[in-house]
Amino acid sequence: MTRRLLAVGAAVLVLAGCGGAAPAETDPSPARTLTVFAAASLTDVFTELETRFEADNPGVDVVLNYGASSDLAQQLVNGGPADVFAAASASTMATVTDAGLVEGTPVVFARNRLQIVTAPGNPEGIAGFADLARPDLQVVVCAPQVPCGAAVERIETATGITLTPVSEEPDVRSTLGRVTTGNADAGLVYVTDVGSVGDAVEGVDFPEAEQAVTDYPIGVLATAPQPELARAFADLVSGADGQAVLAGAGFVGAP
């Protein structure tokens, strides 16, 4: 009798152990990576939008790859994996669209223009574009194949004023850095880049900049590993929330 009771008790314990264990919960939102290639001048804005997008999409990790638009476009043409491309010029976006790598038609989401950047207080007394041709000044610009460098060339052509820079930098943030570190007297960067470093520099407007306004298009890659997330990110950038962040950084809204 005692043996029988013990056996029954043991069986109950085994069944209780089997039935009492809660099944392991599965993560309803598995981790996903969204890769965004973006022009260097979008660094501050897209970093903020990254935080917003990740908050609205739990489990999503937005990986931002910043650089000169021309370099990023070439990376994509060479097979670089990405979901979204945001360029600082229509011509660099065309490099990617002409290769059949963009889904649909890219959307222009912002505009920008050049500004002269100097040390705080503008110690060299630079008043306009023509002053940048002074032989006593060390001036830096972006390389001509980069959108900000191409904009400089358009202004040179329109004004007939040719600059002799001491350096042609690979992207707009490198150009800005030469001035902020005191390695150049002045440079030509976007208005938004000047604003990104606060009192570390001073910006000088010049009317000729209106002759080389830069459009920023964004497109979803046809081979995007995360196409739905890519479209959602592009919608965020071109939508009301994204436009508010862009305007706060000094960008002009899409035409």
3-state SS of the chain is CHHHHHHHHHHHHHHHHHHHCCCCCCCCCCCEEEEEEEEHHHHHHHHHHHHHHHHHCCCEEEEEEEECHHHHHHHHHCCCCCCEEECCCHHHHHHHHCCCCEEEEEEEEEEECEEEEECCCCCCCCCCHHHHHCCCCCEEEECCCCHHHHHHHHHHHHHCCCCCCCEEECCHHHHHHHHHCCCCCEEEEEHHHHHHCHHHCEEECCHHHHHHCEEEEEEEECCCCCHHHHHHHHHHHHCHHHHHHHHHCCCEECC
Per-residue tokens: 86: 């945001």
| Residues of the chain above pLDDT 70, percent | 88
Instruction: Tell me the per-residue pLDDT of 82-92, one tens digit each, with 9 for 90 and over.
Output: 999 999 999 99
Mean pLDDT (whole number) for 125-133 = 98
CA angle 208–212–218, rounded 5-degree value: 150
- Residue 100 pLDDT > 60, yes or no? yes
Instruction: Name the superfamily (CATH) of residues 32-111+215-253.
Output: Periplasmic binding protein-like II (3.40.190.10)
Per-residue tokens: 240: 């009301």
- Residue 67 pLDDT > 70, yes or no? yes
pTM above 0.95, yes or no: no
Which of the following CATH numbers is that of domain 114-212: 3.40.50.720, 3.40.190.10, 3.90.1150.10, 3.40.50.2030? 3.40.190.10
Ligand-binding site membership of 41 (annotated): yes
CB contact at 8 A, 44 and 249: yes
Q: Domain limits of the chain?
A: 32-111+215-253, 114-212
Ligand-binding site membership of 174 (annotated): no
Q: Which of 253, 252, 239 is CA-nearest to residue 52?
A: 239
Q: What pLDDT shows up at residue 197?
A: 95
Instruction: Tell me the per-residue pLDDT of 49-62, one tens digit each, with 9 for 90 and over.
Output: 999 999 999 999 99
Mean pLDDT (whole number) for 11-15 = 38
Q: Do domains 32-111+215-253 and 114-212 have the same CATH topology?
A: yes
Strands 214-221 and 102-112, sheet pairing: antiparallel
- Residue 27 pLDDT > 80, yes or no? no
Ligand-binding site membership of 89 (annotated): no
The whole-angstrom separation of Cα 38 and Cα 66 is 5
Ligand-binding site membership of 216 (annotated): no
